[in-house]
Chain A
Amino acid sequence: MTERENFFSIIKRTGYERIPVMYSFCPYLQETCNDKVEALLKEIGFTPSPIAYAKSIPVKDSDTEKFRCYYDDLKEGATIDIYGVANEPGSAAAMHMTHMRHPLERMETLEELETYPFPEFVWDEEDVAAQLACNQAFKAQDRVVCGDMQCTVWETAWYMRGMEVLMMDMMSEEEMAEFVLDKVTALAVQRAEYYVKTGVDMLYFGDDVGMQRTIMMSRELYQAWIKPRLKKVVDAARAINPEVVIFYHSCGFVEPFIEDLIEVGIDVLNPVQPECMDFGEIHAKYGDRISFHGTIGTQTTMPFGTPEEVRAEVFKNLDIAGQKGGLLVSPTHMLEPEVPWENIKAYIQACRDYTKSDS
């Protein structure tokens, strides 16, 4: 199998030849471990992740300074994104972490929300053709092309409005919640359509709706506010390419929502945090209808386990998934500075060894 065939066969649960190595590093680990990873892969004769990221939809006005007036006390060094969401730096100890600020947080009327300059996307057939060629080139290199849409509807909306305020809107100021969520959904539809038109193989959606031990909102609230909007985005993508694969990320405990996600048309659920949900149970219940990406704990095994424990966890979860696949085994989240190199090495080695008969 080519890398692409192998990757899609895992997702479709039709068997596989090898386990792709997939992880992301915080800036500190990128600096200290990237070279070591490269050397290790070379040494064991293994290829890195097949994922290549496609370019996102162009923004009409990329000047984000216009949003500064929505804050009166932004810390020096804060950055602002195209939605007007600001991220302030913390102390030196916070490293790459930032503190988020929300431009719509203090608005009290629908009229105020309506005057806010939401981003506008603009593209023409020429853009699409150029990106299509670029993505075809990735495919020719046997890579899987991904459109990154993490922060799809719910998270984009609360990043702008503030989580607490948006939740309260959903409970009692319905027209304000509707306005923000509808605006953001329309933008997500455009983002998805652009990616699919440019020939991506997969879209990576993500909206955290789980907490460590429970869901972030009731299933009723989720079904009323979030699910239909997520479905709109999925449907828009599939209207252009019915085959496009859709990943969905939510941290935490999301078991009560998995049925909804399957119904909406999600193919792969990430990250199935072992600290929050038991992969064996989740797989037994839903594994014939959805595949998984993740399952190796970054709150437990990766930072605090031994290399042997990392290896055992990778093997155990691949055993649960079985010979047909259905699991892209990887650390659940970005690896942070305290994760020992030996554990990263053990993860990569375990992926390589799992399908080798001499292991």
Chain B
Amino acid sequence: MSILSEISENLQRGKAKIVKELVQQAIDEGIPAQDILEKGLLAGMDVVGDRFKKNEVFVPEVLVAARAMNMGTTLLKPLLAESGVEAAGKVCIGTVKGDLHDIGKNLVKMMMEGKGLEVVDLGTDVAPETYVKTAIEQNCQIICCSALLTTTMPVMGEVVKEAEKAGIRDKVKIMIGGAPVTEAFCQQIGADKYTTDAASAADAAVEFCRGMA
């Protein structure tokens, strides 16, 4: 088995220490950082994401895989920056104003990072202006809004309006998700995409970034 396959395999099993050692070994062997990232770490996360969508693995398996990926990317980051490799896209994510739940949002963030996207995490209780300001200042292609409560869902509509007001609506995609959110609600408020789970959200975000490149 090649070292990159080994990295992928161990990442899928959540073996963070082994992944870290293998990534270091691959660097020492002179394998380009971008290859280690894409064919090792991200390839492994792809498998985990697919299995998560099929309900073959669940949140705990995703968490340990994401932890292993982070151990690997920490080693790769300086090398990637040195060779001018850019992220596949940039996203800002947060739970909307009035809502303090973040477990689902964090999972989406992990899945998106697992697809090679750069994610700016705005935390919880995020005002519509904050999403839009961040998207403008940090050149994000996507704004992701999470809500657990029917009480706070309407704030997602305010984010869409705020983006229109700031004149960036044609430049950013707005994705929404969270337990009570539905496709019908997404259409009603004029957001771009609703997904039912974290892995599908990451897939959709990658599609958007490809389309906007």
Q: Which residues of A contact B (CB under 8 A)?
A: 90-91, 93-95, 97-99, 163-164, 167-168, 170-172, 211-218, 221, 252, 275, 298-300, 303-304, 336-338
Contact = CB atoms under 8 A, between A and B. Distances in A.
- Give the secondary structure class of B's interface: loop
A260 B51 CA distance: 24
B98 A95 contact: yes
B57 to A, nearest CB: 7
Interface string B54-72: 0101111101100100000
Contacts, number: 87
Given A90-B124, A91-B125, A336-B150, A172 B98 contact: no
13 contacts: A93-B98, A93-B152, A94-B97, A94-B98, A99-B124, A168-B14, A168-B60, A171-B61, A212-B179, A214-B55, A218-B60, A221-B58, A221-B60
Given A91-B98, A94-B100, A214 B60 contact: no
Given A93-B98, A94-B98, A217-B58, A338 B151 contact: yes
Given A221-B60, A304-B150, A299 B99 contact: no
Contact of B63 (A94, A99, A171, A214): A171
**Candidate in B59, B102, B196, B197 with the most chain A CB atoms within 10 angstroms:** B59
Interface in B175-197: 179-180, 196-197
B60 A167 contact: yes
Contacts of A172: 14, 16, 64
Contacts of A163: 103
Given A213-B196, A337-B151, A164 B63 contact: yes
Contacts of B64: 168, 171-172
Residue from B98, B100, B124 with most neighbouring chain A CB atoms (10 Å) = B100
A218 B63 contact: no
A128 B55 CA distance: 47
B100 A99 contact: yes
Closest 7 A-B residue pairs measured CB to CB?
A: A93-B98, A299-B180, A167-B60, A99-B100, A212-B179, A90-B125, A171-B64
A171 B60 contact: yes
Interface of B: 14, 16, 55, 57-61, 63-64, 67, 97-100, 102-103, 106, 124-125, 127, 149-152, 155, 179-180, 196-197
A217 B60 contact: yes
Contacts of A303: 150
A299 B60 contact: no
B147 to A, nearest CB: 11
Contacts of A218: 57-58, 60-61
Contacts of A212: 179, 196
A213 B155 CA distance: 23
A275 B180 contact: yes
Contacts of A98: 100
B100 A97 contact: yes
A94 B58 contact: no
Contacts of B179: 211-212, 252, 275, 299
Contacts of A170: 60
A121 B14 CA distance: 38
A337 B150 CA distance: 10
A91 B124 CA distance: 10
Nearest to B177: A212
Given A172-B14, A218-B58, A336 B98 contact: no
Contacts of B125: 90-91, 93-94, 99
